[in-house]
Amino acid sequence: MDPGKLITIEGIDGAGKSTLAVGLAQALETRGIAVQLLREPGGVLASERIRDLVVDPKLHVGARAEALLYAAARAQLVDEALRPLLEKGTWVLLDRFVDSSLAYQGGGRRLGIDAVREINEFAIQGLRPDRTLLLAIDPAAGQARSRARGAPPDRLENEQRAFFERTAAAYAALAAQEPKRIRTIDASQPPADVLKSALDAISDLI
């Protein structure tokens, strides 16, 4: 049996990752591909518990503790869900993965991409995405989309514009370093066009 593919979806808050993930899962299923949709942090019980900590706006979580919590949730997800699913041939669509930590904690929190990459290498034990879809959007537009949802903002969504600008810049730098793996998609397009662009970006894997 061929192993499954790991497709990760990245971008700042408000870029439309969750919408794309659902649409892409449906599109792949219609092509006869077994797909599992997961999110980060989360996806398994222990990681969802960690998610509750990192998104709670009432908590103060230091930048290093935040980076370590994300890495811990990721390590559990890799062991409990990602590797078993991929080994049995299931494709996994993952809403965020290591690139999120590199961008948000490495860039946004100014911890440094190399430092954050190091703790995540320990967490993922060599697991790499087959393709990463980076939804690029202006930080102001992303924040406006997040506010338009009407839900109370979580701890990270409460950050200032400068934080998201640093995060977006880190994402762009990562994409420039790995253009074969990371395919940048204009997230300001209508959702149907974003989905078409995403399918084009993974067509060689299907």
- pLDDT, one tens digit per residue, over 28-48 is 999 999 999 999 999 999 999
Which residues fall within 8 angstroms of residue 196, CB to CB, at 6 or more apart?
none
Residue 188: is its pLDDT beyond 90?
Answer: yes
> With pLDDT > 70 as the criterion, what percentage of the chain qualifies?
100
Q: Look at residue 183 and give its three-state secondary structure.
A: strand
Residue 147: is its pLDDT beyond 80?
Answer: no
Domain positions in the chain are 6-39+80-113+126-201
Average pLDDT over residues 52-81: 96
Q: What is the pLDDT of residue 106?
A: 98
Q: What is the pLDDT of residue 157?
A: 83
Task: State the pLDDT confidence band at 83, using cuts at 50, 70 and 90.
Answer: very high
User: Considering the domain 6-39+80-113+126-201 in this protein, what is its CATH number?
Assistant: 3.40.50.300
pTM for this predicted structure: 0.94
Residue 150: is its pLDDT beyond 80?
Answer: no
Consecutive H or E run containing 186:
strand 182-186
